[in-house]
Chain A
Amino acid sequence: MDSFIQLLHGFETALSLGNILYCLIGVSVGMLVGVMPGLGPTTGTAILIPLTIGMEPVSAIIMLAGIYYGSMYGGTITSVMINTPGEAASVITCLDGHPLAKQGRAGVALGVAAIGSFIGGTVAIIGLAFIGPSLAEWALKFGPPEFFALMTFGLIMVIGLMGQSLIKGLLAAFIGLTLSLVGMDPVSGAVRFTMGVPELMSGFDLVTIAMGLFGLSEILLGMENLSNSEKPAKVKGLLPRREEWKPTMKSISRGTGIGFITGLIPGTNSVIPALLSYSVEKKLAKDPSRFGKGAIEGVAGPETANNSYSGAALIPLLTLGIPSSPTIAIILGAFIMHGLTPGPTMFQDNPDFVWGIIASMFIGNLILLFMNLPLAGVWAKVALIPSKLLYPIILIISVLGAYSVNNSLWNVGVMMFFGIFGYLLKKLDIPMAPIVLTFVLGKLMETSLLQSIKMFEGNLLLFFNRPISGILLVISLLILLASIYAEIKNKKSHFASDVEM
């Protein structure tokens, strides 16, 4: 009941004219980056964070969160219409969405995806509203050892679940951690590894690194091949046939559950629930041979799952301060940039802020439903903007974004360096998600580890004396050992080499 009243207060904040406008801008930009192949939520949020510097924190996060969940809707459109996933989570939608479009049922695929996304997204936000506060209250009991163990668990999950090779995943994670050491030590105040460069006194900037690794590297890859997309199919009739409603709704409800549960686990990504949902639907189907040829459940389940995931993935961020994916890590960067620290105390210290954002997500999902059902055809045309025009414009916007972080060219240079580095890493199949995640968590991990060591007077075994930190570290160790075993036996099945670009 308390949550419900708080949520109503949140609507007061979210329904102000300015915040509705920012929500609308956020979800529209999200749709745009989702629709454009090569651009995804991570790139979109990284490039646009600097624009939020002058905004009120609540408006800034409303806009950035809108980009995040909006892109999940947008990615579907190009998957269905031109068989090109706009973002990684929609890869699976191509399998049945595009065959449906070829049968002249593009509208039905998009309609089902939009309805599923709306239901999945909304249920996840309701979950966030009701589970979030209790989880945050529980997390208030966490001390430095629990936080350290939780962050270790998240990182091991990222490394263990993704990437073709454990060595490459670990290498990426430790690059991110080591880069986070540059600048002032959070505990003693000592200045480290600045190589005499005054700009490095405060360390590298997360936004600049993310813009390089995810934005510029994508531009470089895109510039390699400036081909144009195929013409999209016409959109007619948005609703499934009467006999298709029942299986569709069942797929949507299963997708909602799968997405929500996956979102709660730190270190997962939006591809995992989509893939899980697709395989569950195929297994449960009376005639699995329809899958890949235009099965409506193959669109409804995964599309619902990735939207439900994106709402649920905000729960670990808002309650524990732990990002679960690169996009969420960048949103965490935006929190910090606006002087806010997400974590267990946030629901108590900044209730207007948290509930304002949660309420805005209901509004955003509703806007997206309207944007997608009648306007899907219009959005598909956006994908036809020639890449030879698009990429240079995104490049100059990235340059402006990097410049405006500190109003200096230093960050433009840093972005260029990490852009070239990211381009090389992508070519070498080294995942970049662990770099950004570990970079954002590095200082927090160091602080919690040093505080724990001090608490335990140097005896690290005492981590295992505390139930939560002990269990999390044991699970992390087991996942690491399983990954090593899979690597040695060459059995590693990876969900995606890099996601949410």
Chain B
Amino acid sequence: MSKQNAGVWVGLIILVFSSVIFIQAMNLDYFSKFGPGPGLFPIWLSGILLVLSILYIRLSIKKSIYYFSDIIPMGRSFGNILSVVLALIVFMVLVNFTGFIIASTVLLFTLFSREYKWYWGLGIAIFTSIILFIIFKVFFEIPLPVSVFGW
């Protein structure tokens, strides 16, 4: 994977995306009896995006070459990035069951524990979560998910 051309992969994803939009746009009216239809703009836009994604893939192969190994960090830095993504996923899974404070504490502790001693990490995570809960729930009146205990 590390020696794969990252630009080509991103170009391919955009190519697939634009193709899907283009095919779906073909099923919409290009012109109706009232004038231009809902398909006109999307057909042109996704068509141009499709061509651009091919040009970008060509550019990534010939001139602007970026391998995954050049752009994705290794070791601890990669761990940091991965922990952000994992912490976010865990937060989304947990929050509706545990409420905001616990889910946020888990998210923050996952990240703090990599840099601070565990008890400091946990302490800062709990403190920050409680303060944010109060600010958003009380001051901004945003209905945050809560546990059976109301927090």
Contact = CB atoms under 8 A, between A and B. Distances in A.
- The finding on whether chains A and B are genuine partners in a shared complex, rather than unrelated, reads yes
Interface of A: 50-51, 53-54, 164-165, 167-168, 170-171, 174-175, 177-178, 181, 185, 187-188, 190, 192-193, 219-220, 223-226, 388-389, 391-393, 395-397, 399-400, 403-404, 407, 409, 412-413, 416, 420, 423-425, 427-430, 445-446, 449-450, 453-454
B134 interface: no
A165 B11 CA distance: 15
A187 B38 contact: yes
Contacts of A168: 56, 59, 64
Nearest to A410: B92
A181 B39 CA distance: 10
Given A193-B42, A396-B104, A397-B132, A428 B10 contact: yes
A429 B143 CA distance: 39
A447 to B, nearest CB: 9
Leading 5 A-B pairs by shortest Cβ distance: A427-B71, A388-B115, A392-B111, A190-B38, A185-B38
B85 A420 contact: yes
Contacts of B14: 171, 175
A410 B81 CA distance: 22
A324 to B, nearest CB: 22
Contact of B53 (A171, A223, A425, A427): A171
Contacts, number: 159
B147 interface: no
Given A188-B32, A395-B84, A428-B7, 4 more contacts: A187-B36, A190-B28, A193-B21, A416-B92
Interface of B: 6-7, 10, 14, 17-18, 21, 24-25, 28-29, 32, 35-38, 40-42, 45-46, 48-49, 52-53, 55-56, 59, 64, 66, 71-73, 77, 80-81, 83-85, 87-89, 91-92, 95-96, 104, 107-108, 111-112, 115-116, 124, 128-129, 132, 136, 140-144
Contacts of B129: 396
A396 B41 contact: no
Contacts of A170: 52
Contacts of B49: 171, 174-175, 177-178
Nearest to B141: A54
Given A395-B111, A397-B132, A450-B36, A388 B91 contact: no
B41 A424 contact: no
A399 B111 contact: no
A424 B81 contact: no
A174 B132 contact: no
A167 to B, nearest CB: 5
Given A220-B81, A396-B108, A454 B41 contact: no
A388 B108 CA distance: 11
B123 to A, nearest CB: 12
Contacts of A425: 10
Contacts of A175: 14, 49
A400 B107 contact: no
Contacts of B21: 178, 181, 193
Contacts of A178: 17-18, 21, 42, 45-46, 49
B40 A450 contact: yes
Given A175-B49, A178-B49, A412-B88, A223 B40 contact: no
Nearest to B18: A178
A174 B45 CA distance: 7
A400 B144 CA distance: 8
A168 B115 CA distance: 37
Contacts of B53: 171
